[in-house]
Chain A
Amino acid sequence: MTELYIEGDPIRDEKAPEGPIEQRWDKRRFSAKLVNPANRRKLSVIIVGTGLAGASAAATLGEAGYQVSSFCYQDSPRRAHSIAAQGGINAAKNYRNDGDSIYRLFYDTVKGGDFRSRESNVYRLAQVSVEIIDQCVAQGVPFAREYGGLLDNRSFGGVQVSRTFYARGQTGQQLLIGAYQALERQVAAGTVKMHTRHEMLELIVVDGRARGIIARDMVTGEIETHFADAVVLASGGYGNVFFLSTNAMGCNVTATWRAHRKGALFANPCFTQIHPTCIPVSGDYQSKLTLMSESLRNDGRIWVPKKAGDQRDPRQIPEDERDYYLERIYPSFGNLVPRDIASRAAKNVCDEGRGVGPGGLGVYLDFADAIKRMGRPAVEAKYGNLFDMYQRITGENPYEVPMRIYPAVHYTMGGLWVDYDLQSTIPGLFVTGEANFSDHGANRLGASALMQGLADGYFVLPNTINDYLASGPFEKLDENTPEAKEAAESVRARINKLLSIDGNRTVDSFHRELGHIMWEYCGMERTEEGLRKAIERIRELRDEFWQNVKVVGTNDELNQSLEKAGRVADFFELAELMCIDALHRRESCGGHFRAESQTEDGEALRHDDEFAYVAAWEFTGTGEQPVLHKENLEYEYVEMKQRSYK
């Protein structure tokens, strides 16, 4: 395997304080240098992305008085993909008095991440979670309430308490609109300048510091240079490398990949989350997959027929011929096991020929019992919009026929490596939300993505970025700065190249084929042999892409094929790194399941003696061997053991 990568020096997070875990965040906030309010006006920050992590950071830094420039590729910041999160947001409020605490949320998250995340970061996340709910309520986020007027909660996978706050099945939307409104308030106040329909295509690094970005105005095609004293990437995850995923069509890795190419390490790229409850694929034309909230597993029961190849209408299959396999295998967590476990279990029953629906790639999610127990109106009130969405997409009525679900790519735990301050290995480049790697280890628990995005943006970054900005403002730059000129020219050259190939295949056809390779070999189950094959095929396809892609139109207009082509080109490079990362990690952990490393009953088998580290990769050139830097993970508080949800 050494032909695929080189091992370099280990890396360490120098920013997390030592000492009792509950005091570390306080200590860091105290030791971080401050910027006095009058000086903040002289300091500028670029923020790429306006999802929960980006919009909340832009609003908060704007309120603090910094000059913020915010960028999004959509026509409005309100459309960022955080909006599609359905189920909820965790917080250790213990409003249910059911034994929850900051420590328990911390423990559940470290365990749920299969011991591949940092204790200090996760503890801070749990601490801050409490403030997030307060902040959002103050903004007018309409969380679900009980008749007494207080907030309601529900349970999510991998935990035994009710700590999830929700707004019907539209929690992400309501939280994002809250952050968006706070952001627009700052736009009106003049502290934030908003650039919609702008895509970041390059990072500007001067004297080793991140000092700006090259962005393309997606309406006019103009290549713009923007400078700042610090750059924040809040550009989301890279699940679209699989072509089919629950991500929005525009989600992409370009911002973080461009930063990676400029020196930012990329951590744990193979850690992807396959979500168990999505609507199955219906045909080749399919452009995306739709998630059905995990909250459905609170009341729905998952099953397949006991007999392989059973073609009967599900309603005709008697109770004793059904296998409620999650309840059978994991009696204490039942249908609420973590996502990685539920997904793999679904794959296993389908591999046994017991899957349902077209191609046998589906399992039932059945609400018949819930409707009997709670009555249809109660089910409607709780899940109505999800049921409607299912019916709209499939044409089937889930109140009468059990839904069919199948796992789909949903979230990426990997991302740019950051320290405790959320700063990458490039000074002045900060990374927040799904775009960084920091809090979820090898598997993210449900309702924790919203928590992390808002924690980073409202509370963490605004208390750490000051430590860096305190040494600014940095030297004034203009478009003639050689590094900026070079960056803009490389962007123009790449665009011209994409437009001039004029081959025979569309961008989508390449993307779809890349997605098939990734799903087949770097999806729910990975093997040494498969991953090697994938690397070979990705390289071949990437070469073909650069010789045979067809992008029509010009740069000087709204050109959606051109936008897509640039993103897919970066996905090709990322895909190779994901496979190398998956190949080098010869253990199973969380969402990363290596067939060669499993227990007797088919559960993920970790090898803590060899792999209890974060794999942070350094870019050395397209198709060249990346350099692996290991960050050792130490567990002082949570004992590392085999996860058990049985």
Chain B
Amino acid sequence: MNITLRVWRQKGRGDEGRMVTYKVEDVSQDMSFLEMLDVLNEKLTLAGEDPVAFDHDCREGICGACGVVINGVAHGPETTTTCQLHMRSFKDGDVIDVEPWRAKAFPVIKDLVVDRGAFDRIIQAGGYISAPTGTAPDAHANPIPKADADRAFDAATCIGCGACVAACPNASGMLFTAAKVTHLGMLPQGQPERAARVVKMVNQHDEEDFGGCTNIGECAAVCPKGIPLDTISQLNKDLLGALASGKL
């Protein structure tokens, strides 16, 4: 099939950026979306033009590196990562808009590549359990009810891609933050730092220029890993508890 792409091109941080139209011919429906962009880039390179820069690595939906807004939807129409989106989701003659994540906290580096360093800094603020190497008790010392373990796991599957931020009208990073707060907060090992963790992570989130959460739910709707929206309720509950305890 033949596709028309309108792709965001931006040389660097200082550049204004614009949408540029490209035709891609003979697209197979078994191609992934990124393989279709590879085909475009091969063509551009041979023509001596700058290929479209986009982040990607594992191409199997787990590293979280890839992510673009496709026709206005983060990761496109299939609720998966961009690398796992295949061209069978489109049809011959389609015009597809491709844009980077748009959020103040994620400045564009080039074309479709953005800087998501803010996520790492939220983790630095408290998204861990302090367990220096060598200090651990036997793994079976502390049985964990399966329901708690499963809930922690569901939250832990976050890949840090940033689609939640791109989808949110407020550009909030709350689903990402809440996923980590819930993952660690559900586990007995995570209790000693639970109150401090949520406060520090939320503070860092706000410092990074993410918007506030107003419970719209667009984040969970595009999340390729299905992180549930109620992790944000959990975060709010933990935050309120931490602040009310007065122990911080």
Contact = CB atoms under 8 A, between A and B. Distances in A.
Interface of A: 56, 59-60, 63, 74-81, 83-84, 93, 95, 131, 133-140, 142-151, 167-168, 170, 172-174, 177, 180-182, 184-185, 187-188, 194, 196, 219, 246, 248-250, 282-283, 285-288, 290-291, 389, 392-393, 395, 458-459, 462, 504, 506, 508-509, 550, 552-553, 557-558, 560-561
Given A79-B63, A395-B30, A188 B130 contact: no
Contacts of A147: 146
Interface in B133-149: 133-140, 142-146, 149
B109 A134 contact: no
B16 interface: no
B39 interface: yes
Contacts of B35: 285-287
Contacts of A170: 62, 157
Interface stretch (B113-121, B214-222, B237-245): B113-121
Residue of B84, B110, B139 contacting most chain A CB atoms (<10 Å): B139
B149 A138 contact: no
Contacts of B30: 282-283, 395
A249 to B, nearest CB: 6
Given A462-B133, A557-B110, A558-B109, A83 B62 contact: yes
B112 to A, nearest CB: 11
Nearest to A146: B146
B25 interface: no
A93 B140 CA distance: 10
A29 to B, nearest CB: 12
Contact of B34 (A167, A287, A290): A287
A198 to B, nearest CB: 13
22 contacts: A56-B133, A63-B133, A75-B115, A81-B57, A138-B189, A140-B184, A142-B187, A145-B144, A149-B143, A149-B144, A149-B149, A283-B30, A285-B35, A285-B39, A287-B32, A288-B60, A389-B84, A392-B80, A395-B88, A550-B46, A558-B53, A558-B113
B146 A81 contact: no
B72 interface: no
Nearest to A358: B30
Contact of B149 (A75, A142, A458, A504): A142
Which are the 7 A-B pairs with shortest beta-carbon distances? A149-B143, A138-B136, A181-B128, A138-B131, A134-B136, A188-B124, A142-B153
A144 B80 CA distance: 24
Contacts of B212: none
B183 A134 contact: no
Given A138-B137, A142-B149, 17 more contacts: A60-B133, A74-B57, A84-B62, A181-B128, A181-B129, A184-B120, A185-B124, A185-B130, A248-B59, A249-B59, A285-B38, A286-B35, A287-B35, A288-B59, A504-B46, A508-B38, A557-B12
Contacts of A133: 139
A389 B60 contact: yes
B66 to A, nearest CB: 10
B39 A139 contact: no
A248 B58 contact: yes
Contacts of A60: 132-133
Contacts of A459: 133-134
A304 to B, nearest CB: 23
B5 interface: no
Contacts of B130: 185
A167 to B, nearest CB: 7
Contact of A181 (B127, B132, B137, B187): B127
Contact of B132 (A63, A172, A219, A285): A63
A135 B134 contact: yes
B34 to A, nearest CB: 7
Q: How large is the interface on B (under 10, 10 to 19, 20 to 34, 35 or more residues)?
A: 35 or more
Contacts, number: 217
A283 B86 CA distance: 13
Nearest to A282: B30
B198 to A, nearest CB: 15
A93 B141 CA distance: 13
Residue of B49, B133, B149, B190 contacting most chain A CB atoms (<10 Å): B133
Contacts of B48: 550, 552
Interface string B38-63: 11001011101111010111111111
Given A81-B58, A282-B30, A553-B50, A142 B65 contact: no
B156 interface: yes
Nearest to B36: A285
A311 B162 CA distance: 45
Given A184-B123, A395-B88, A249 B60 contact: no
B131 A508 contact: no
B84 A140 contact: no
Contact of A285 (B11, B31, B190): B31
Nearest to A556: B12
A458 B136 CA distance: 12
